[in-house]
Structure 1
Amino acid sequence: MEGLTSAQVAVAKRNTVPRRTSRSLPAIIRANVLTLFNLVIGVLWALILIFGEWQDSLFGLVIVANAMIGIVQELRAKRTLDQLAVVNEVPVTVRRDGRDQRIRPGQIVLGDLILLGPGDRLLVDGEVVAAEWLEIDESLLTGEADPVHKQPGDQVLSGSFVVAGSGAFTATKVGEDAYAARLTKQASRFFYALAAVARGRPARHGVPVRVNALTIGVPAFFLALAPTAERSLPGFVPCVLRFAVPAGLIAGAGVILSFSAAGGERTAAVVTLFLVTWWVLVLIARPLNTWKIALIGAMAALFALALAIPSTRAFFELGTGGWAAVAIAVAASAGISAAVKLTGTLRT
């Protein structure tokens, strides 16, 4: 095996990979703590501490849990990205013009014959052409702890390394086409995607946070706002379950039905979820008084404005909704009201 000639190396594609570094620890903490969701919950938490009972402010722990989960997940991704980045700094042995040479990673070209020994890292993808008890550790890429035995004709991926034996492979993918480079590029985008992208395009950063702030943060405020002297009542847990279980099932079924009826349009599901949640808050807030009616009305008005004003609709990535979503919400709300009347769980 003579490898490439100097003339072939001069015209071949080079292993050019831009240097990518993961975010620093302060940037990770800042990105997961300073979010719109945490801001909404934090403001409501402060209001409850000032004007209400501290026991009612325990929902503020959501901020800590939400931030910690995001930080831990991104730190784990950062560690993997940093390990992959190290791969591009290790010198490699190639055979050119019949002679073995040690070169920098950026000097590798497509078609190079790369020699392998114990401890060598693979910087590009390729096909094994010679192997003597060659075993490759691919745990960094696949999570598989056991080394993989390689034979001539097998494919090898950048980001793995040799744990035993020796061999050689021909570079078939270099630069940004190599597996490790593509993996690093994809993992370095730092965005949150929706679980299902119904419209066939990536979700913009922060959209799930904005929707959660609207459908979770604001209702939490209304649920914890009003103080009450009835701190504990006999049969409290069974009473809550008799209301929460049927209400949750009806609300969930309504959102799924609305989402399906709209052909996977997220706005319809958001409209249904908001209206059902709003009606649940009306039921919980009874008996109503002037300030409760004003607050609940303001909540409905703000949501209507969010749908009506083009700029706010674009901010939340909402469409126009549709009357079908409203009809489904009305039916679901009527079902919840009937469940309340049958179980007798709420005051009137």
Structure 2
Amino acid sequence: MQTIPTKAYGASGSILNSLKPMTIERQAPKADEVHIDILYSGVCHSDLHQVKNDWHNTIYPCVPGHEIIGRVIEAGSGVTRFKAGDLVGVGCMVDSCGVCPSCKEKEENYCEGPVSWTATYNGYMKPANEEFNTFGGYSTNIVVKESFVLSIPKELDIKAAAPILCAGVTTYSPLKHWKVGPGQSVGVVGIGGLGHMAVQIARALGATVTAITRDKKKQEAAEQLGAHEVLISTDADAMKAHESKFDFILITIPDAFDVNDYVKLAKRNGVITTVGLLGPYELPLNNMEVAMHRRSVSGSIIGSIAETQEVLEFCAEHHIAPEVQMIKMQDINVAYKNMMDEEVRFRYVIDMQSLKDEA
């Protein structure tokens, strides 16, 4: 089968500062696939986790990137929704089994097939064959099945839209699932790449939103994003005063943490959902605090293709946009260090023209 040589940046191992130029091969589009020229690629904290092999499932070489904005170069003969020149997006998934109950109910992100859904990079979500790999958006182009390609509303700024495809849908999905809306009190824990989207989305859904952060320097930014109140989690008195206040708490912290302090903030019948952490909490959950108030502690992972299209349109309608810092592809290792040091203001986005121009 014809292949397409593609410029990319990837990691050959888990050592930081290891992302470097490489050439990968894309297969020419099949009848149901779309060939996309990548314009912008968001930099997600999970990219950093994956390169470092924090989840012990990384397949190298690893070419990250699952927040992709681009234009269609070519559509396969059976493609009906897209044509050359269309502005499109690709998020965290590029395939799923299509036949399990979750897939049939259009919740591909909970695919129950033997390897779960196929990630945009790093192969299957549950690797079953280390020889199978996929390469993501830190590259000049990508080929994706039509059913996993998103339309980008014309109202969105394409330079800023990429993080909606992960950070946006990852926070929108649980907010919608638990029917967050007017009259509800919502706490958003962690005001970073995911949290800053959650504050804006929850506010647009009509909830009263409290941004919860340990960093006092983020207070002004959280208020500008639409938070009605900012709670500093290191202030014991303030945390005590907010116990049993929230109907819904969305926790976006990407590393292990103690969930118990946040459980106390939920009302009777309140829900606590963690989206940033894929792994155990730092300390065991104290079920006494859960049981005594019939609270629920839950998790959520990304969102379906339908939800991703929905959040793109929701953000366009409500004038919601990620706050981004544009970088060149050649600056990616510095960007990763800044993410580790928490020195990025919400989200980096790579201008992929910088890679195309690289000699």
Same fold (TM over 0.5): no
In our comparison, the structure showing a higher alpha carbon Rg is 1
Q: Which has the higher contact order (CA 8 A, sep 6+)?
A: 2
Structure number having the greater strand percentage = 2
Under a length normalisation based on structure 1, what TM-score does the superposition of the two structures give? 0.23
Structure number having the greater helix percentage = 1
